[in-house]
Amino acid sequence: MRRVSVILVALAALVLAGCGREGGPGQTPSEQLTFPVAQNVQVPGSATFAKIQQAGRVKMGVKNDQPGLGVQDPTTGQYTGFDIEMGRMIAAGLGVPADRIDYVVVPSAAREDAISRGDVDYYVGTYTINDNRKQRVGFAGPYYQAGQDLLVRADDTSITGPQTLMGKKVCSVTGSTPIQRVRQQNLTQPENVVEFQTYSQCVNQLIARQVDAVTTDDAILKGFAAQDPQQLKVVGQVFSQEPYGIGVPRDDVAFRNKVNDLLQQAETDGTWQRIYDATLGKSGTPATPPAIQRY
Ligand code: GLU
C-alpha cells in the first residue's frame, strides 16, 4: 500500500513537471529564465506602481501569436519569447514574481487604448516607439531594433523587396506601422492591401495563397519562417527602423524612468543578452542592445 502511494506521488510529480514545461510538442523546451525579485521597491510619484503594489500583481500587455517574441503554448498555456521575458524581468525589478503576472493579450490596433485606459500596467509586444503614439502613451526603451521586411512563399521568386510589390496582395495588421508604410509609400494598389488583427491570420492567408506577401518587422517574420521553412521565407531587405519600446501610461514619468532604469541595468549586467540568447537569438543571428533614449 505504502509503495503504491509513493509511486502515485512520484507519478503526480512527473505529470506536474510536464505541465510546467514550456515549448509545445516537437519543440525543444526553452531554457527557463529566472530573475531575482527586487525587495522594498519604491517608485515615488508613480500612480502605476502604486496600483501594482496594492494589487500585488502586474497586468502585462502582450501578443500571444508571435513566435520567438510572444507566444502562448496552446497545450500548456505557458507564455514564452523575447518580449515576454523582457516583461518578466521588468516585473521582477518592480518586486513582482513571475507567478503574479496577469497576461493581457492586446492586438496592435488596441494598444494605445489598453494602456491609456489602464487595462494594462505596461505593454511588451513588438511596439514601435514613434511620435504619433507618444501623444497617447509613454515609451521606455528602446530595448530592441527591428526593421520592416517581407514574408513570402518559399517558391516565390517574383518578390525581392518593397519595390516589387505592385500588383501583389500584401497583408499586414490594423494599427501597425508596416501597414501605414505600405499605404503611404503606395507599395501596392490600395485594393491589394489586406488587413487583419494579427500576423498569424496574415500568415495563414499567405499559405492559403489568398495573399502574396506579409509585411511587418523582420523579427516577427523570421519567427514564422522558422516554424515552416518548407513553405515560407523572409525576403531580407529591411526598409524601415522599428525601435521596440515598453508602452507605459503617458503621464507617469516616474514609472517610465523606473522601467528605463531596469532596462539599462539589464543591458549592462548581461541579463538582456541572456534573454536574447534564450529566445530570438536561437535563430543564430547575433544582436546587441540599443542605447536607451530617455525623453
Ligand atoms: N513594430 C510594428 C508596430 O509597432 C509592427 C509590429 C506590431 O504590429 O506589433 O506597429
Pocket test for ligand 1, best of 143, 176, 180, 197 (most atoms within 8 A of CB): 176
How far is Cα 210 from Cα 200, in angstroms, rounded to an integer? 14
pLDDT one-digit tens code per residue, 31-68: 579 999 999 999 999 999 999 999 999 999 999 999 99
What is the distance between the terminal CA atoms of the chain, rounded to a whole angstrom?
67
Q: What is the mean pLDDT of residues 229-237?
A: 97
Statement: residue 137 has pLDDT above 90: yes
Q: What is the mean pLDDT of residues 89-106?
A: 98
Query: What pLDDT shows up at residue 285?
Result: 85
Query: What is the pLDDT confidence band of residue 156, given thresholds at 50, 70 and 90?
Result: very high
Q: What is the mean pLDDT of residues 110-139?
A: 98
The mean of the pLDDT values for the chain is 91
Pocket test for ligand 1, best of 134, 173, 181, 222 (most atoms within 8 A of CB): 173
Query: What pLDDT shows up at residue 73?
Result: 95
Query: What pLDDT shows up at residue 31?
Result: 56
Ligand 1 pocket check for 48: Cβ under 6 Å: no
Cα separations (Å) of 229 from 72, 93, 165, 275?
A: 21, 37, 22, 24
Instruction: Supply angle C-alpha 192, 196, 199, rounded to 5.
Output: 105
Statement: residue 23 has pLDDT above 60: no
Q: Are 52 and 120 in contact, with CB atoms under 8 Å apart?
A: no
- Distance (angstroms) between ligand 1 centre and the Cα of 154 equals 24
Closest residue to atom 10 of ligand 1, CA basis: 176
Share of the chain above pLDDT 90, in %: 87
Q: What is the mean pLDDT of residues 146-168?
A: 98
Q: What is the mean pLDDT of residues 287-291?
A: 95
- Distance (angstroms) between ligand 1 centre and the Cα of 5 equals 52
Cell numbers linked to 294: 530617455
Q: Are 58 and 100 in contact, with CB atoms under 8 Å apart?
A: yes
Q: CB-based contacts of 69: which residues, under 8 Å, 6+ apart?
A: 63, 81, 82, 83, 84, 125, 126, 219, 220, 223, 279, 280
Which has the minimum average pLDDT: 5-9, 168-172, 269-273? 5-9
Q: What is the mean pLDDT of residues 217-226?
A: 96
- Distance (angstroms) between ligand 1 centre and the Cα of 205 equals 19
- Distance (angstroms) between ligand 1 centre and the Cα of 12 equals 42
Alpha helices in 208-247 (DSSP H): 218-227
Cell numbers linked to 122: 505596461
Q: Are 48 and 90 in contact, with CB atoms under 8 Å apart?
A: no
Statement: residue 163 has pLDDT above 90: yes
How far is Cα 27 from Cα 51, in angstroms, rounded to an integer? 37
Instruction: Supply angle C-alpha 214, 135, 70, rounded to 5.
Output: 40
Statement: residue 12 has pLDDT above 70: no
Closest residue to atom 8 of ligand 1, CA basis: 176
Query: What pLDDT shows up at residue 201?
Result: 98
Ligand 1 pocket check for 177: Cβ under 6 Å: yes
Closest residue to atom 6 of ligand 1, CA basis: 126
How far is Cα 67 from Cα 199, in angstroms, rounded to an integer? 10
How far is Cα 50 from Cα 88, in angstroms, rounded to an integer? 18
DSSP letters, 112-152, are: HHHHHHTS-SEE-SS-B--HHHHTTEEEEEEEEEE-EEEEE
Domains of the chain, each with CATH number or no CATH: 25-146+242-283 (3.40.190.10), 148-234 (3.40.190.10)
- Distance (angstroms) between ligand 1 centre and the Cα of 6 equals 51
- Distance (angstroms) between ligand 1 centre and the Cα of 39 equals 34
Closest residue to atom 1 of ligand 1, CA basis: 128
Please give the number of the atom of ligand 1 that sits closest to the Cα of 242. Answer: 1
Pocket test for ligand 1, best of 84, 128, 145 (most atoms within 8 A of CB): 128
How far is Cα 70 from Cα 81, in angstroms, rounded to an integer? 5
Please give the number of the atom of ligand 1 that sits closest to the Cα of 178. Answer: 5
Statement: residue 6 has pLDDT above 70: no
Statement: residue 257 has pLDDT above 90: yes
Question: Collapsing DSSP states into helix, strand and coil, what is residue 84?
Answer: helix
Cell numbers linked to 83: 518580449
Query: What pLDDT shows up at residue 34?
Result: 94
Please give the number of the atom of ligand 1 that sits closest to the Cα of 220. Answer: 6
Q: Listing from the earlier edge strand, what are the strands of the sheet with 122-123?
A: 101-105, 58-62, 122-123, 242-249, 137-146
Which candidate, 145, 144, 163, places its Cα nearest to that of 235?
Answer: 163
pLDDT one-digit tens code per residue, 271-286: 999 999 999 999 878 9
Share of the chain above pLDDT 70, in %: 89
Closest residue to atom 9 of ligand 1, CA basis: 126
